[in-house]
Amino acid sequence: MLDWFKKKNPAETAGWWQKLSGSSFAAGLRGLFSGNPRLDDALLDEIETVLLSSDVGVAATEGLMGDLRRRFKAREFADSAALQQHLRAALLALLEPVAKPLRIDASKAPFVILTVGVNGAGKTTTIGKLAYRYQREGLKLALAAGDTFRAAAVEQLKVWGERNGVTVVAQGQNADAAAVVFDALQTARSRGLDLLIADTAGRLHTQQGLMAELGKVGRVLAKLDASAPHEVLMVIDGTTGQNAVNQVRQFLAVVKVSGLVVSKLDGSAKGGVVFALAREFGLPIRFVGLGERLEDLREFDPEAFIDALLPDLASTARPAT
């Protein structure tokens, strides 16, 4: 178990079951292992189907299923409960290496978080929730309205700023995003703030101008602080499935993404894309979005996540015949 799990706030991990157990992924796994399932090839095939249909991805699924089938043929599982426990451990092993909370380095104040992602991923909302979170931790911060491509994005960020009582540095629509973020960093430095969270325009990899803008923002920040941005946080919509993998790949070609936020995992979201992202990139998953409330942006806890997907049903399983 990772050391930071031992120190986690109970309030931070409360409610994962309620938020995630309604997903099709969780329902699929629970359905397979309830009702005393027979341990046979058909069960393995059904597990594979659930993993693939829940956006776990081909590579991750093949790795998991290859291991399960090898152990099954070697008769390492006494019953389906033993198989379930091994599957749970294997899923957890995929996620533990990427469960790395974002720590704000006070020696780099103002610590700069640059948020990126495509339109509709929940980027601006995530910024508002981050502002709420860090303000409650006692940090002094400001927000930069660097998404000048959409006037609504600037207004939305201003609303979040007012809601949290946080300064928002903004200019007009179509202003130079790099100039906005530069001014925001100057403001943060002059006020002795701890943290600056900068928004950027939602974009697709086909929008070459917007993608190039990300590089410009980084270069302009470096004029004030050679180490900035200190975190490039990419927000991924957890409902987009394997398309999320393609998005991360394209952004990595332009900017050094250093952490992920997987939003919209609550409710009916499949959630398996978390495993695909972990398997493909190994990037830290800093936070996940589990609802609309400000406090529903949670540090990623793989144990709580797995428990919501695959509870212990060993007492109901029966041996193979």
| DSSP label at residue 97 | G
The pLDDT > 70 percentage for the chain reads 89
pLDDT digits (tens, 9 = 90+) for 254-281: 889 999 999 988 865 678 999 999 999 9
pLDDT band at 150 (very low <50, low <70, confident <90, very high): confident
| 283 neighbors 258 (Cβ within 8 angstroms) | yes
pLDDT band at 71 (very low <50, low <70, confident <90, very high): very high
pLDDT for 205 equals 54
197: which strand partners? 113, 143
> 11: part of which helix (H) or strand (E)?
helix 10-13
pLDDT digits (tens, 9 = 90+) for 24-64: 888 899 889 887 789 999 999 999 999 999 999 999 999 99
Reported in sequence order, the residue ranges of 137-215 that DSSP labels E, i.e. its strands, are: 141-144, 167-169, 195-198
> 153: part of which helix (H) or strand (E)?
helix 151-164
pLDDT for 7 equals 45
CA torsion, points 309, 132, 259, 203, in degrees to nearest 10? 100
Structure tokens, 92:
């957890």
> 262: part of which helix (H) or strand (E)?
strand 259-263
- SS3 track for 213-250: HHHHHHHHHHHHCCCCCCEEEEEEECCCCCHHHHHHHH
Mean pLDDT of 74-83: 93
pLDDT for 101 equals 95
Mean pLDDT of 223-243: 92
Angle at 197 between CA 196 and CA 203, to 5 degrees: 145
pLDDT band at 241 (very low <50, low <70, confident <90, very high): confident
Q: Which pTM does this prediction carry?
A: 0.88
- Range of weakest confidence among 2-6, 179-183, 243-247: 2-6
User: Given CA atoms 279, 270, 34, 36 in this order, what sign does their dihedral have?
Assistant: negative
Given a cut of 60, whether residue 162 has pLDDT beyond it is yes
pLDDT for 197 equals 98
pLDDT for 213 equals 81
| 124 neighbors 157 (Cβ within 8 angstroms) | yes
Task: Please state, in angstroms and rounded to a whole number, the distance separating the CA atoms of residues 11 and 142.
Answer: 26
Q: Which residues contact 159 (CB under 8 A, 6 or more apart)?
A: 128
Q: Which residues contact 115 (CB under 8 A, 6 or more apart)?
A: 123, 126, 127, 197, 198, 199, 200, 233, 234, 235
| DSSP label at residue 96 | G
Task: Please state, in angstroms and rounded to a whole number, the distance separating the CA atoms of residues 312 and 306.
Answer: 10
pLDDT for 267 equals 61
The pLDDT > 90 percentage for the chain reads 60
